[in-house]
Structure 1
Amino acid sequence: MKNWYVVYTKPKWGKKVAEQLNNYGIECYCPLITQVRQWSDRKKKVEVPLFNSYVFVYIDEMERSNVFQSSGAVRYLFWLGKPAIVREDEIKVIKKWMNNPDVSDVTLEAYKIGDLIELESGPFTSQKAVIQEINKTHYVLVLESLGCVLKMKIK
C-alpha cells in the first residue's frame, strides 16, 4: 500500500531531489513559494521549497529504498521509531492552500521560546502550553491550566 513519506534532503536540494525523483517515476511533492531575494546589485524572485530540506514521496513501503537513486536524498524522517507517514488529506490541504490565489507571502517558522501551543496528542491532548525551553534532547512546556511543567524528550 502506498503512503506519503517525508524524505530529508541535502541542504537546498529539495527542488532538485523532487525533479530527479519525478524523472525516476516516483511521485513526489515539494511545495514551492516565491520569495524576493536581495543581491548587492539587484532583487530577484525565486521559488524555494516551503519546507527546507524536505520532499514528500508517495511510494509503497517495499519500494522506499528507490528514493536514494537521487544523490540529494539523505534519509527518511522518522516518528516514534517508524518512517513518518503524512495522511493523504494533509497533502491535499497543503496543495489546496498553496494553489489558493488569495494566499500570498507565505513563511514557515519553527517553534520558539514563549510560543503558546495546543498539545495534539498524549495524555495532555487539547491543553495549552507555553514553550519555556528548547534544546537538542528535550522541550520544556509550562501547562498553566494544570499548574505543572512538562519535560518532553526528543527521540
Structure 2
Amino acid sequence: MSGSLNRRLAWEDVQDGEFCWYALETRHRCEKKVVQQLTRLGVETFLPELIEIHRWSDRKKTVTIPLFAGYAFVKLDRSRASRLRVLQTPGVIGFVSSQGKAAPVPAEQVEHLRKLLRENVPCSLHAFLRAGQRVRVRGGCLDGVEGIYVDADSKKLIVSIDCLQRSVAVRVEGYELELV
C-alpha cells in the first residue's frame, strides 16, 4: 500500500478477514482503561503516549498522557463480531467513521507514529492544516498575524490586504499555526 499515506482508506478497501487499524473514540480520560480491557479480550491495541513533567510549587512529577486525548487505535478484521466486542467495552464511544462506516487507518501511519514515539522524537500536537485554510501565527515576532496557509512543502502563509487587493507570502517555518 505505498502511497496510502496521502489517501484515505475506505471501509470497502478492506477485504473480509484482513486486519486493519481503526481509531476508536473513548470517554474522557478512559483511554488507558479501554486499552487494558481490549488487550485482555485479545484485541491488538495501540495507545500513543507522551511523557510530560508537571511542576508544582513544591514538587515535580513525570506523567504519561495520551497523545490524542479521547482516542486509541485497535487492529481488527471487519467482521461484525469483532466490532461488537470492541463497541461493548465500557468506556468506548465508537469508531471514528466516514460516511457512517468505521474508517480504517493506514498501517503506515500507525507505524510511523510508533517509530516517532519509540525514538523519543520531541513532538507535540498541531492543528491538521490543509492548503487554503485561514490560520493565525502563535508566538514569535509574527504573533497574531492571520493569513491563508499555502502548503506544508513551501511553509508559506499568504497575508492579504483586502482593500489593496494585494497579498504577501511569508515563510512560517518554525512558527506554530492555529486554525482561525
Question: Would you say same fold, with TM above 0.5?
Answer: yes
- Aligned-pair distance for 1:77? 0.6
**Aligned with 1:89 (options 108, 114, 117):** 108
User: Given the superposition, is the C-alpha separation of residues 73 and 110 from structure 1 closer, same or farther in structure 2, using an over 3 Å criterion?
Assistant: same
Larger strand proportion of the pair: 1
Q: Give the ranges of 4+ consecutive aligned residues of structure 1 lying more than 6 Å apart after TM superposition.
A: 128-131
CA separation in 2, counterparts of 1:2 and 1:49? 24
User: Given the superposition, is the C-alpha separation of residues 95 and 76 from structure 1 closer, same or farther in structure 2, using an over 3 Å criterion?
Assistant: same
TM-score, structure 1 as length reference: 0.68
Question: Hey, what does 2:136 align to over in structure 1?
Answer: 114
CA separation in 2, counterparts of 1:45 and 1:12? 17
**Aligned with 2:74 (options 45, 57, 73):** 57
**Aligned with 1:100 (options 114, 119, 134):** 119
Question: Hey, what does 1:36 align to over in structure 2?
Answer: 53
Any idea what SS the aligned residue of 1:71 has? coil
Any idea what SS the aligned residue of 2:42 has? coil
Asked if structure 2 preserves the Cα contact closer than 8 Å seen for 1:114 and 1:130, the reply is no
CA deviation string 1:30-69 (max 9, x = no partner) = 0111011234532211011111111110001111111134
TM-score, structure 2 as length reference: 0.59
Structure 2 counterpart of 1:17, which letter?
V
Structure 1 counterpart of 2:35, which letter?
A
Aligned ranges for residues 58-77 of structure 1 at < 5 Å? 58-62=75-79, 63-77=82-96
Q: Structure 2: which 5+ residue stretches go unaligned?
A: 1-17, 130-134, 138-148, 159-166, 168-180
Question: Hey, what does 2:21 align to over in structure 1?
Answer: 4
CA separation in 1, counterparts of 2:57 and 2:38? 34
Structure index of larger Rg: 2
Any idea what SS the aligned residue of 1:114 has? strand
CA separation in 2, counterparts of 1:48 and 1:110? 18
- Aligned-pair distance for 1:130? 6.5
User: Given the superposition, is the C-alpha separation of residues 19 and 40 from structure 1 closer, same or farther in structure 2, using an over 3 Å criterion?
Assistant: farther
CA deviation string 1:58-92 (max 9, x = no partner) = 00111111113421111111124321211111111
